[in-house]
Amino acid sequence: MNLLLMEVAQATQRLADAGVPSPRTDAEELAAHLHGVKRGELHTVPDAEFDARYWEVVARREAREPLQHITGRAYFRYLELQVGPGVFVPRPETESVVGWAIDAVRAMDVVEPCIVDLCTGSGAIALALAQEVPRSRVYAVELSEDALVWTRKNMEGSRVELRQGDALAAFPDLDGQVDLVVSNPPYIPLTEWEYVAPEARDHDPQMALFSGEDGLDLIRGLERTAHRLLRPGGVVVVEHADTQGGQVPWIFTEERGWADAADHPDLNNRPRFATARKALP
């Protein structure tokens, strides 16, 4: 074993002792980041190139700073995004939401589908849809100026139209014209603050995490916004916590102008997002 791989093994143990959920992956990612190689190429780094800064970044991860804040990048579907303090780190669960959204737009057979991402954060959802749905017109809104610093970097050169503002009042100019509304809003109940992992609780912005006592304040508001934006037959997709699968579809009721409300699991088979179709008149 070369020196670097021995250091990685020691770092893995330190991270495991600190309660980091994926210690080996993170120890390898940190080493790969410092050496500018992929994780699978670590064995090619010569011993002489071992970098003493490794233990500095391991100590940061040991203190539960998110891996993505240390490396400055997050992977989401086919994207590599820039992230750091002030913006929510995109999560793998949300990739399933985007997958469902892509299938739904394809099934519509619209030539230039109009898509709105409410609460875009780093821009992960909007950018993935712009990349994976050819000829889509994608709009995104974010309220936090701190998050927007990162959104703008990620969206530079993309065709997503970004606006700053409150999602609930967003895009009045698109009312009744949108084919798909997608959102991963804040949804953690305030009552669950103490159970949130330190990486999220201490490093993701509070505005990205919490939304009232039961976590559903913003989703209730987004139901009206989605109804306003969508054309009849258009669909909404909203991510939620794995404990909210029995509640969120019930926000999209027939009385409020919705059809086909349903809930869907993520790749870990946990309830993760609700969908509904705006009823035809």
Ligand X SMILES: C[S@@+](CC[C@H](N)C(=O)[O-])C[C@H]1O[C@@H](n2cnc3c(N)ncnc32)[C@H](O)[C@@H]1O
Give contact residues for ligand X (rule: CB under 6 A).
Answer: 88, 90, 94, 119-122, 124-125, 141-144, 147, 166-168, 184-186, 205, 207-208, 218
Q: Which of 23, 185, 189, 271 is catalytic?
A: 185
Residues 241, 246, 250, CA angle at the centre, nearest 5°? 105
Nearer to ligand X, 70 or 141 (CB): 141
Neighbours of 196 (CB within 10 A): 14
Q: Which of 184, 189, 271, 273 is catalytic?
A: 184
Residue type, 61: R
Distance of closest approach, residue 183 Cβ to ligand X, in angstroms:
7
Nearer to ligand X, 54 or 88 (CB): 88
Distance of closest approach, residue 27 Cβ to ligand X, in angstroms:
25
d(C-alpha 115, C-alpha 230), whole Å? 9
d(C-alpha 146, C-alpha 77), whole Å? 24
Q: Judge whether 185 is annotated as a binding position.
A: yes
Residues 119, 121, 122, CA angle at the centre, nearest 5°? 145
Q: Is 185 a catalytic residue?
A: yes
**E strand or H helix that includes residue 261:** strand 258-265
d(C-alpha 167, C-alpha 50), whole Å? 47
Q: Judge whether 142 is annotated as a binding position.
A: yes
Q: Is 184 a catalytic residue?
A: yes
Q: Judge whether 132 is annotated as a binding position.
A: no
Q: Judge whether 90 is annotated as a binding position.
A: no
Give catalytic residues, as residue numbers: 88, 184-185
User: Which residues are annotated as part of the binding site for S-adenosyl-L-methionine?
Assistant: 142, 184
